[in-house]
A = this chain, B = another copy of it.
Amino acid sequence: MAAKALPVSPLAVPLPAVPPIAGVTLGVAAAGIRYKGRNDLTLMQFAPGTTVAGVFTRNKCPGAPVDWCRAALKGGKARALVVNAGNANVFTGKPGRDAVQATADAAAGLVGCKPREVFLASTGVIGETLPHEKLTAALPALHGQLAADGWEGAARGIMTTDTFPKACVRTALIGDTEVTIAGIAKGSGMVAPDMATMLCFIATDAKVPAAALQAILKKGVDASFNRTTVDSDTSTSDTVLVFATGQAKHPRVPAEGGAMLKGFARALHDLLLDLALQVVRDGEGAQKLVRIDVTGATTARSAQKIAMAIANSPLVKTAIAGEDANWGRIVMAVGKAGEPADRDRLSVAVGGTWMAREGGVVPGYDEAPVVAHMKGREIEIAVDIGLGRGKGTAWTCDLTHGYIDINGSYRS
């Protein structure tokens, strides 16, 4: 990993204070997996009866912890989460599967649950055997120190090339009872479609049936993490897990969820988008946060595909790094998306100023506000395809020397 500390992203946002979530205790320890002198092991314990939902990478070569979580999710129950940073336990064959089993067994023994109620995530280098004995050696002392106020430490403990810790808190009403949702996330590169963040862990005191929780989570991830990209690469470890401890005293939620969970779903979706954008704000080398709105496509799906093509274009992203409102490259990216588009109906705006309309440059458009907008930290691009009513939005960051610095020497 990068030998020297990276400068904090200029797009960083302050870490919010995360209150205790009833039914959750957590803590961190330094297991010495890869990093020296910092915490790299995070343990969360959940009250009996906690339900769980999860969404994972669609990468065809997932890590052993992802395989484990997918299988464990079938039970719908969770009692613990173990996360390590520094080694992703990906492409590690049988030793990788053994590491997962040994870690789950150890945590289950401490918590007093079945191994299949333990969820696992690993992030870091791919293809090196995870020294799980360092994890299992550190877990007993860590388990003895779990506390309700450990969220800040956990947000820091799961970081790899992240330059700032990421957390978010929301509240919602279920019936007349306020419930709280808290989440932490990490990720700054290898962040792309089909699960943008590497890791995101959310807990709530709400009592939500696992199936309803899964449906709400899936929808929220589609509208947040799956609409962000840093570099078009898709991690083998992407994991979002939500744990609902059921400690809040609200009326019983029916198995299918339904209207009673409307406010909860909205709050969870808002939290997911907040965390997803924090990950983009920490995109490796990012100097600018970029929002791309596509309207007028033939379908919403088509609009989203075009928005992601723009968001993933290295030429668009380097132009933004150079503070150049190069709408020609945006047109190129629209065209390469492979979706229905008619060059002569296309319009492009930057920072709210329409520079190109219906196939040509807008004669005498005022360049001054565009130039000023490009110098800012948050860039807005709007593209109207002019063919239909499909809308989509994607978020990304610019592509800078910092990205090359970080990724050209990651293992050294």
* A residues in contact (CB < 8 Å) with B: 58-62, 88, 90-96, 125-129, 189-190, 192, 194, 231-236, 312-315, 318-319, 321-322, 324, 326-329, 331-341, 343-344, 346, 356, 358-361, 399-401, 403-404, 407-412
In the docked arrangement, what's the CA distance between A412 and B326, Å?
A: 11
Please determine whether A322 and B412 come into contact, CB atoms closer than 8 angstroms: yes
Beta-carbon contact of A126 and B404 below 8 Å = no
Which A-B residue pairs are the 4 nearest by beta carbons? A126-B328, A93-B360, A61-B335, A322-B408
* Residues of chain B with a CB closer than 8 A to A334's CB: 60-61
- Closest Cβ of chain B to A411, distance in Å, is 5
CA gap between A165 and B127 in the complex, in Å = 41
- Asked if B236 contacts A94 (CB within 8 A), the reply is no
List B contacts of A58 (CB < 8 A).
338
CB distance from A238 to the nearest CB of B (A): 11
Note all chain B residues with C-beta closer than 8 A to A361: 91-92, 127-129
**B residues less than 8 Å from A126 (CB atoms):** 326, 328-329, 331-332
Closest B residue, CB atoms, query A96: B360
Task: Add 4 more A-B contacts to A127-B331, A321-B404 (CB < 8 A).
Answer: A90-B331, A234-B336, A322-B409, A326-B410
Q: Is the CB of A233 within 8 A of B60?
A: no
| B92, B321, B336, B408: the one within 8 Å of A192 (CB) | B336
Contact (Cβ within 8 A) A407 B59: no
A313 CB contact (under 8 Å) in B91, B233, B338: B233
